[in-house]
Copies of this chain bind each other. A is one copy, B any other.
Amino acid sequence: MLIPIGDITTEAGATIVGAEIAVQRWGEFRGDPNGRNNVLLVEHALTGDSQATDWWCEAIGPGKALDTDKWCVVCTNAIGSCYGSTGPSSKHPDGGTWGSRFPAISIRDMVTAEAAALDALGIGRVHAVLGGSMGGARTLEWTLLYPERVDFALVLAVSARASAWQIGIQTAQITSITQDPAWQGGDYHGTGTTPDAGLAAARRIAHLTYRGELEIDERFGTSPQPGENPLGQFREDGQRFSVQSYLEHQGRKLTERFDAGCYVALTEALNRHDVGRGRGGLNKALHSINVPTMVVGVDTDILYPYHQQEHLSRNLGNLLAMAKLSSPVGHDAFLVEARQMDRILRNFIMLTEQTPSGRDLDATRGVYDI
């Protein structure tokens, strides 16, 4: 379903006119739209979409950890993406495609737009917001921008702000795309050419930050791609190690399902991720969060190393729990390690049912203050 949310003014002051947000829902809504209810708001990662039961199929469904017989799971597509919500590849109200007219957005802008979509749906408050990676960044911002609308939060495989290393590797990806001659300043839509080579190159780099070297090496090692000889007298592009073929496949797959301009927009938003901006710094911002928040990291994550989740756990104002995924897979473990994630999600849901929410605590404090 597409929800019109009108004009959105970004954190940096630009306007996205006539914005829309794609939303999907599983399970029946129960409770008070502005009070206690059963909504679990799930936040997707960089190239994800609102079809959460696809990319988190082991986690969401009847009888699963996010049990749709009990909970109403809602997932929106981030503004800037290409899966229904308004982004660089969307039609502009004035004609043509947004392209380079689409402004730079921040994680906060995604949450602002998402909150507007929930408003339009009449959902004033949710039981929990959950997400990993870019979805984790959005979850954190929910607890800062709209603490009164979030009872609990689960933040997976992310940090309080982009690290310089992340900005570096993410910028390498953006540059791969913008230096592709087919990029045309971001206005390639409708020209008949698309910066597929740049987007594929970006994805190959990104994939090596999503997947742990232990897992990739266990799968491919130094094996040649069948029928090819990467050890010949001269280096040839068509004579590859298996891992090269695998990464090229990952790159090609993304060009078939994702828009390069949207990839740049969302990656730029990750570069700008910083919960401390305008809030007196990182730790002061984290300390101000009263939403009970569970933090999860992955032991082999090189993109968002575990020390970044430890940093969150030390500084969050209301830490609910902390868990570590042990996996050779690296960053993507929150999507891949279904068995461990099942335990973590069930623990999180159980804790949310046994713990006073941030709002309850505020109410209690209010009583004592009198």
Closest residue of chain B to A303, judged by CB?
B213
CB distance from A122 to the nearest CB of B (A): 32
A336 proximal to B (CB < 8 A):
no
The answer to whether A295 has its CB under 8 Å from any CB of chain B is no
- Are B213 and A305 in contact, CB atoms less than 8 angstroms apart? yes
Task: Determine chain A's interface SS by DSSP, over half rule.
Answer: helix
Interface band, chain A: 35 or more
Residue of B13, B104, B207, B221 near A235 (CB, 8 A) is B104
Q: Is A1 an interface residue (CB 8 A)?
A: no
Contact B169 A208 (CB under 8 A): yes
Q: How far is the CB of A103 from chain B (nearest CB, A)?
A: 5
Q: Check if A327 is an interface residue, CB within 8 A of chain B.
A: no
Cβ–Cβ contact A222 & B168, under 8 A: no
Contact B197 A179 (CB under 8 A): yes
Q: Is B175 a contact partner of A216 (Cβ separation < 8 A)?
A: no
The reply to whether the CB of A302 lies closer than 8 angstroms to some CB of chain B is yes
Query: Which residues on the B side are within 8 Å of A230 (C-beta)?
Result: 271-272
A204→B165 contact, CB < 8 A: no
Chain B residues, Cβ within 8 Å of A241: 164, 167, 171, 271
Decide: B233 and A14 in contact? CB cutoff 8 A.
yes
Please tell me if the beta carbons of A204 and B13 are within 8 angstroms of each other in the complex: no
* Interface residue ranges of A227-276 to B (CB < 8 Å): 230-235, 237, 241-244, 247, 264-265, 268, 271-272, 274
- A10 in the interface (beta carbon within 8 A): yes
Write out the residue numbers on chain B whose beta carbons fall within 8 Å of the beta carbon of A352.
Answer: none
Does A349 touch B at the CB level, under 8 Å?
Answer: no
Partner of A168 from the list B106, B174, B178, B204 (CB cut-off 8 Å) is B204
- What are 26 inter-chain pairs, A to B, with CB distance below 8 A? A10-B233, A104-B233, A104-B234, A106-B231, A163-B217, A164-B213, A164-B222, A164-B242, A165-B208, A165-B243, A168-B204, A168-B208, A168-B244, A168-B247, A171-B244, A172-B204, A175-B201, A175-B204, A178-B237, A179-B197, A179-B201, A205-B205, A213-B302, A213-B305, A230-B271, A235-B265
Q: Which 7 A-B pairs have the closest CB atoms?
A: A165-B213, A164-B220, A164-B243, A14-B233, A163-B217, A104-B235, A164-B217
